[in-house]
Every structure is written in structure tokens, then in C-alpha cells.
Amino acid sequence: MRLVVGLGNPGPKYEGNRHNVGFMAVDEIVRRHSFSAWRSRFQGLVSEGESVGEKVLILKPATFMNESGRAVGEAMRFFKLQPADVTVIYDELDLAPTKIKMKQGGGNGGHNGLKSSDAHIGVDYWRLRIGIGHPGDKSRVIGHVLSDFAKAEQPDFQRLLEGISDRFDLLAAGKASDFMSKLAMDLKPAAAEKKPVKSDPPVVTPPAVKAEPTSEQQGGLAAQMKRWLSGDTKKN
């Protein structure tokens, strides 16, 4: 069995926040893979389904970000799972928007949801970091993470979340290398279609127009013809 956790804060006030991109990711997985309806359990909301024949539990802690580990720990202990069976999806300030990284274990980078998870289940779980970018100044971090994605950012993030969902089987199995490479290929911008080069139309040379004789030439020819007909071929 696999446990996949999306981190975020509960309630409509926070649902569009950058800090809730973990919730957004698992919502997309549940929707696109026809998992069960959300229900309350383990101090959060859970949805169940399968991936490559293995049972998967999706969890959104309802404890608020700073206490996320309580819900994760309760679910892990109930199913007698190991940290390596758990994947946590969360927002990462130190990654550019829509960039992702996945690895097992490591530090928490100051992320309160990870700090809580580390305290309750140890550090050897899988982490999928979704970049939301840094505002550039430490004093602006809280406002940045607790604000909604800008309208211009939303299409790129939606495409990323759909890509994560499409490669969910690899994600849930902890196949980080395959997941990252396949997702990168999926998200690679399509090569621009080559437009046919317009060639200049062929130059058509009009046929030469035979010059008409002038009036003087016409007069001389008439006189010569008259002399010839009269038998007078002597030139003037």
C-alpha cells in the first residue's frame, strides 16, 4: 500500500494559495483517476484508489500546515506503513515556479509542514517539491505563500498538475527517475511548426512586340510598291 499526502491549509480561504499546491496536486489525481469521494479520517480528508494493482490512500491533513505530521503519522501507523511507503507533495520557495524535484529523505528547508512530518514519521519518506518561486525578500515570504497564484501563472500550473496526475503510477511507486524524465518529456513545449517558405512568383517575360512601321516608312513602302507594279523599278 502507498500513502500519498498533499500538504496545505483547509478551508476556502486558502484553497487558491501557493502554499496549497500540494492539495491542488492530489485533488487533480483523485479527479483524473476516479478515486473514491473524499471522506473524513485520520485528522484529514482521505480518498482511496489503486495504482498498478496496489492500493493507494490519498490524504489531505485538516490540521493546518504546521501540524500536518499528526495526520500523516496516524494514517501511517494505522496501516503499518514505513516512511518509504509515503510520498508528500508540497510547495517549494527555492524552486522557480512550475519546476519540480523528487527525492527520498533530506532536510525540511524551513517548510513547517515538513518539520511536522519529520517529527511524526521520520525523514525517510519521499518528497515531491513543486516550485512556487521566492518573492526575493524574506519579509515578503508569508504574504507570498498565502496569496493566490496570479492569473498569468495559472495555465502553467494547471498543466503541471495534470502532468503529475498523468504520471501518478510512477510517482506513487517512488520511481523518481522515471517519473521526472517522463514528466519532463510530457511538459516539453511542442516544437514550433515550420511555416512553408514563400517563394517569389516566377518572372514571366512577355513576348517581344514587333514594332509597327512609322507613317513615313509606310509612305515609302507604298510608293515603292506602286513603281514595282507599274514596271518602273528605277530608283529616284
Where do the domains of the chain lie?
2-187
DSSP state of 17: B
Gap between the Cα atoms of 13 and 26, Å rounded: 18
**3-state helix/strand/coil string of 75-139:** HHHHCCCCHHHEEEEEEECCCCCCCEEEEECCCCCCCHHHHHHHHHHCCCCEEEEEECCCCCCHH
Residue written as grid cell 509515503: 86
Count of CB atoms situated within 10 Å of the CB of 21: 27
Question: 134-147: per-residue pLDDT in tens?
Answer: 999 999 999 999 99
Instruction: Report pLDDT digits (tens) over 53-98.
Output: 889 999 999 999 999 999 999 999 999 999 999 999 999 999 999 9
Q: CA-based diameter of the chain, in Å? A: 134
pLDDT number for residue 27: 97
Residue 42 has pLDDT above 90, yes or no: yes
> H helices of the chain, where?
21-32, 68-78, 112-121, 141-145, 154-166, 168-172, 176-187, 215-230
DSSP-based three-state secondary structure for 201: coil
Which cell numbers hold the place of 76? 501511517
* pTM beyond cutoff 0.75: yes
- Mean pLDDT, the chain, as a whole number? 87
Q: Which residues are known catalytic residues?
A: 19
Please tell us whether the domain made up of 2-187 is placed in CATH 3.90.1150.10.
no
Mean pLDDT, range 104-118, rounded to an integer: 94
- Which pairing describes strands 126-131 and 86-92: parallel, antiparallel, or unpaired? parallel
